[in-house]
Structure formats: C-alpha cells, structure tokens
Amino acid sequence: MPPPGWKEALVTAAPQPTGTELLARLDRLPVGRPHRRLMLQGGLGYLFESYDAVLLGYAASAVVAIWSVGSGLAGWLLASVFIGYLIGALVAGVLADRIGRRRVLMYALLVYVVFTVVAATANSPGELILWRVLSGIGIGAEATMIVPYISEFLPTRNRGRNIGNTMLFLGFGYVLAGLTAVTVISPNPEPGWRIACLICVAPVLLLLWWRRDLLESPRFLISQGRIEEAAAIVERFERETAVNGQLPPVPAATAPAREPAPRRNVLRQFAALWGPGLAVRTGVVCVLWFAIQATHYGYGTWLPTLLVLKGFTITKSFSFALASAVAQIPGYYLAAAISERIDRKWTIVAFMGGSIACAAGLATAEDEVAIFCFVVALSFFMNGVAGPLYAYTSEIYPTESRATGMGLASATARVGAIMAPVAIGYLHDDLGFAGVFAMLCGLLLVGAVVLALLGLRTAGRSLEAMHAEPAAARTRDDQPA
C-alpha cells in the first residue's frame, strides 16, 4: 500500500518551469487581448505625455504674457518641464531595474498628477517653474518606462511593429493639445491656462485607475529569481491568448534566460552600461537620441517663429505647424510597418535620411507650396522614427540593464531638447533660416552614420539571444551586421 501523503508528494515533486522555458512560452504566443491591453495602456501614457508637453507649452506662453515675464525667465519657464523629464528618465531607469517596472509606472503617474494640480495654483513664475520641474519628473519617468515594459511581453516576431503602433498615440496627443489650446486657453488666457493643467490631470486619473491591476514583467521577475510569480503571469497570458483552447507549440529556446543578477548600487548600474559588450551600444544610442531629439525639439519649437521671420503671418505659421502635427500619425504607422522587414536599424537610418532631405529642401525653398510640403514631410519622417528608435533602444540591453539604459538614452535626449532651442536662439541671427536647418541636417547626418556603422540588427531576434553570449563574444556582436 502506498504510504500516506503520496499524492501530495507527487504534486510537490512536479518540476517547476525554468526561466528559459517560461520565456520560450511567452515568445511563442500570438498577439492577443492581454498584449493589446498593455499596448493601449502604454499608448495612452504616450498620448498624455505629448498632450502635456504641448498643451502646457501653450499655457506657459500665456503665462509669459499675463505676468509680463522677461525673456530670460521665460526661457527657464519653457525649459522647466524638460529638466523634469531628464531627472525622471534617469531616476526611472535605475529604480525600474531595482524594484520593478510596474511600481515605477504607477508611482510616476501619481507624482505627475499631484504636482500638475499644484501647478494650477501657482501665482508667480518661480512657483510655476518648480511645480513644472516636479511634474515633469513624473511624466518623464512614465514615458521612459513604457516601451521597455511592453517589449518584455511582446513576441519576438512582431515586437517592433507593435511598439511602433503604440507610438502612434504620441501624434494624437499633439493634435489634441493644439485643439484644446485654441478652445480653452486662447479665449480667456488667465483662467484658461489653469484649466489646462486640470484637463491634463483628469484623463491620467482614469489611466491610474485602469492600471491598478497592472502586471509585473515576467522577464524582470525571472532576472530577480522570482520564478513562481513569473510562471503565474505567463500562464495567465496563455489562458487569455488561447484560441479555442489551442496554443502554438513551444519552440526550442534560442538562448537561455540569464541567471539572476546581483544587486548593484546606482553607480555600478550606470557603469555596467559602459562595460564590456555594452559600451559601443550605449555610445551609439546616446549619439542617436541626442541627434534626433535635439533636431526634433529645435525644429519643432522654432518652426512657427522661423516661418514668421521668413515672412509668413502668425496665423499661417500656426496652420503649418498644425498640419505637421497631423502628418506625424502616418509616419509612425509606416515606420512600424517596415521595421520588421528591413530591421529597426535601417528603418531609423532611412527615416533620418528622409528628414535630412526635407530639412535641406525647407532651408532652400522659397515658394509657399514647396515650404508647406517640406514642413509636412519633415514632420512625417522626424516623428516616424520614434517607434523603431524606442524599440531598438529597449532591445539592445539585457533585462537587468534595460530600464537603466533606456533612462540614460532618454536623459541624453532631454539634454538635446533643452540645448537645441537655446542654441538656435543665439545662432539664428548669424546663420539665418537656411543656416539653422543646415545645422540640424548635420546633426542628423552624424547620428545616421554612427548607427549605420556601429548599430545592431534586432528584428526577429529574441531579447535573450542578443545578450546570451559572454561579454567578450558580445563585443564581437557589437560590430555592424
């Protein structure tokens, strides 16, 4: 007769799945309802980021006029949110690799909500600058974490396309911000800018409520040795994704899951990005993000003014800017569609090349129709590059460094976003309209060449496959492919 408790012993003896098995099961799933839910939540986060940056930029312009703010202080007021973004990006990356993606995503939104509400009560430029920096920390941390978080759930075969589709929401945010500014701030600027702050907060509160049951990334849990928690999340995705109870077979793992990494202090987390096997990758993305975001914000913030200086009316320059905002949306879509075919690396290079051609055309165009066409086309290419850029950056780092790497790249971008508008202001009188765009073309060209020569292929490769080799072997992998 079997001994008492033999059934319980069998259950206890059932082998627990390994991290490698769980990742293979997760990667083989088709994109289903749980993936689409995460992409929608992430997309709405990007919508609120772009909506906040643009709408409260309009609000800051109204405040400058209402409070008669001097030009020097006005520059700090307009740059305050980007300072917050920079801090938020660095902090979010470090924290997410230590305490998890989910906590950072939730707490970042909460920080943004609190300080944006407080900003609506500001009665001096100094107060408003402080609250905008603090609210920027929240939204900057949120925006930095969305793609690394989503990418750790998406299957390998169409990860880039789905991340690109998530970035579409950025374009909708820009358009909605312009419409809200016209209907809320313009008719009555004094209460209007305060109302704009509260409008920014209201939908974020709904998103916070929706995210209350947000799942932690299985890849992060595996990297921390929390296999049982990761298994429960993978099983939930399998249940929700199964069609008629059937799932694709589990393929052989292309690379084993990495062993849980020892906990590192903040300095070592950043130092690891410049260590063997990752230094070239980090250098490439820092150059790339700085070039793209400095050009994007330099061009975007100065376009209406440059058009006015070129002889256009304010109304016409605003209409050009609105048309360029609408042109972003098909740019995001096309880049997402081709990034799985020609790889993220070459999609970025192609869109940067298109941006260079359009900026050069805009710098030399004199005919009004030609200028309009180049403005719209430049927005198409400059914004379309965002999807493959975010996807590429999140793919080239191992799980234990992914969020920190993304945070560093995003922070580098914010430095460019702060420096470029200021530099253009000082250089415009000497360089002129054509010179400004020639400078931006040169910056984009540097980024494109660096990526083409030193960048990696990432499409169709599992996240683990790019990081499975020893450090010395990964150094070889950093050579162009």
Tokens 């939540």 belong to 41
State pLDDT tens for residues 205-227.
777 777 778 889 898 998 888 89
Tokens 């400059």 belong to 382
Structure letter (DSSP) for residue 154: S
Cβ-contact 410, 144 below 8 angstroms: yes
Half-sphere exposure in the Cβ direction for 29 (13 Å, CA): 25
Residue 198 contacts by C-beta under 8 Å, 6 or more apart in sequence?
A: 117, 120
**Residue 9: per-residue pLDDT:** 43
C-alpha distances in angstroms, 307 versus 310, 314, 328, 441?
5, 8, 19, 18
Give the span between the Cα atoms of 356 and 462, in whole angstroms. Answer: 32
Q: What beta strand segments (E) does 51-146 contain?
A: none
Give the span between the Cα atoms of 87 and 109, in whole angstroms. Answer: 15
What is the pLDDT confidence band of residue 162, given thresholds at 50, 70 and 90?
A: confident
Q: What is the pTM of this model?
A: 0.77
Cβ-contact 462, 219 below 8 angstroms: no
Indicate the SS3 state at residue 14.
Answer: coil
**Residue 255: per-residue pLDDT:** 54
For the chain, what percent of residues have pLDDT higher than 90? 11
Cβ-contact 31, 155 below 8 angstroms: yes
Report, as an integer, the average pLDDT of 454-481.
59
State pLDDT tens for residues 378-389.
889 988 888 889
**Residue 10: per-residue pLDDT:** 40
pLDDT at 8 over 50: no
Handedness of CA 428, 431, 433, 438 (dihedral sign): negative
**Residue 266: per-residue pLDDT:** 72
- β-partners of residue 243 are 246
**Residue 367: per-residue pLDDT:** 79
CATH superfamily of 16-243: MFS general substrate transporter like domains (1.20.1250.20)
Structure letter (DSSP) for residue 157: G
What is the pLDDT confidence band of residue 474, given thresholds at 50, 70 and 90?
A: very low
Residue 39 contacts by C-beta under 8 Å, 6 or more apart in sequence?
A: 150, 162, 165, 166
Residue 48 contacts by C-beta under 8 Å, 6 or more apart in sequence?
A: 139, 173, 200, 203, 204, 207
Element (H, E) at 32: none
Give the span between the Cα atoms of 137 and 134, in whole angstroms. Answer: 5
Half-sphere exposure in the Cβ direction for 305 (13 Å, CA): 12
How do the residues of the chain divide into helix, strand and coil, expressed in percent and rounded to 5?
A: 80, 0, 20
Kindly give the interhelix angle for 266-273 and 71-99, rounded to the nearest 10 degrees: 90
Handedness of CA 8, 10, 12, 17 (dihedral sign): negative
Handedness of CA 266, 268, 269, 270 (dihedral sign): positive
- 75 versus 360: the higher-pLDDT residue is 360
**Residue 450: per-residue pLDDT:** 94
Cβ-contact 100, 220 below 8 angstroms: yes
Residue 377 contacts by C-beta under 8 Å, 6 or more apart in sequence?
A: 327, 354, 358, 361
- 391 versus 204: the higher-pLDDT residue is 391
Which ranges of 455-470 would DSSP assign to H, the alpha helix? none
pLDDT at 284 over 90: yes
**Residue 12: per-residue pLDDT:** 45
Which residues of the chain form CATH 1.20.1250.20? Answer: 16-243, 267-458
State pLDDT tens for residues 25-64.
888 888 888 899 889 888 888 888 788 777 777 777 778 7
Element (H, E) at 328: helix 314-338
Give the span between the Cα atoms of 45 and 43, in whole angstroms. Answer: 5
**How many residues can be counted in the chain?**
481
Report, as an integer, the average pLDDT of 58-87.
78
- 78 versus 391: the higher-pLDDT residue is 391
Domain 267-458 classification at class level: mainly alpha
**Residue 281: per-residue pLDDT:** 92
